[in-house]
Amino acid sequence: MTPDETVSEFMARVCRFDLDGACELVTDDIEYDNVPLGKNYGPDGVKGLLGPMVDNLDEVDWVIHRQIADGSTVINERTDRFRMGGTWMELPVVGIFEVDGNGRISLWRDYFDMATFNEQLATLTGAQ
């Protein structure tokens, strides 16, 4: 797979709640930097952050608006959508990925606005 295809497949697997399958596409020392929330390392770090999220959701849909690849770097602009019950949370995100020579993601860095995240989370959970 090309770096562009690797990132697209990785995201599709996460949206299917297949975290083990998604982590087959990352390096053993991946740096997952969810910028407002902090860094996690390795497949266990990725699963440690994403696992509790997908365990509490009914559906995940990451809508990619633009995705570009330049060599081993892939950048996408997307809306990350999460559904719990009948309520959707929508979060604008920019992601940057580095794919190594073996076709595995070695860096995943997401940028989003924490205030928007907190507002959307309150909507999703019914908190005021």
Q: Which residues are identified as catalytic?
A: 80, 110
Residue 111 bridge partners (DSSP) = 94
Q: Lay out the sheet containing 26-34: strands in order across.
A: 38-41, 26-34, 105-111, 87-99, 73-84, 59-70
Structural contact between residues 99 and 24, judged by C-beta atoms closer than 8 angstroms: no
